[in-house]
Amino acid sequence: MFGSDWEEGCASCSFLADGFDGIISHLKARDVSLAVVSAAHQDKLLAYKRKMDWQFPWYSCGDSTFNRDFDVIFDNDGGIDWKEIPCISVFYKGQDGAIYYTYGTFARGLENLISTYDFLDLVPKGRDEEKLHEPMEWVKRRHEYDYTT
């Protein structure tokens, strides 16, 4: 979502994260917590969080092996040139106190968490991504769109 050498969070991750704040209270009601983890230093994360007006918990994994441990970082491995990829990891704290990794999905596997797509799927033009080189290339950070209301 925010690599250690980046100046801003990734546009598609920000697109996904824009929906987090509204669901936190609903998740808490079901004894579920949400936290976001990125490689960038905590100061960068907090500055970007303020810029985006987000409230969800966001932590830096810094130089730890967290992202590598869960296969969400690549160093041009197999032609992939992503330093940090969009991912959702689910953990469960068992009654024994142990933490279990129970689920993970990456990139387009996160689509079902992006409510904007649900709305676009209802309109006549739909997502209108067929002619794009990459399906999500239209996505920008919300403050970067140039439109009039």
The number of folded domains in the chain is 1
Model confidence, pTM: 0.82
Ordered alpha helix ranges (H), 6-99: 11-17, 24-28, 42-52, 66-69
What band does 88 get if pLDDT is binned at 50, 70 and 90?
confident
**What pLDDT, on the 0 to 100 scale, is given for residue 30?**
96
Give a yes or no: residue 49 inside a domain: yes
**1-11: buried (b, 16+ CB within 10 Å) or exposed (e) per residue?**
bbbbebebbbb
Give a yes or no: residue 47 inside a domain: yes
Please give the residue range of the domain that contains residue 111. Answer: 11-134
CATH number of the domain encompassing residue 121: 3.40.30.10
**In this prediction, what percent of the chain has a pLDDT beyond 70?**
90
pLDDT in tens, 25-43: 999 999 999 999 988 899 9
**What pLDDT, on the 0 to 100 scale, is given for residue 125?**
94
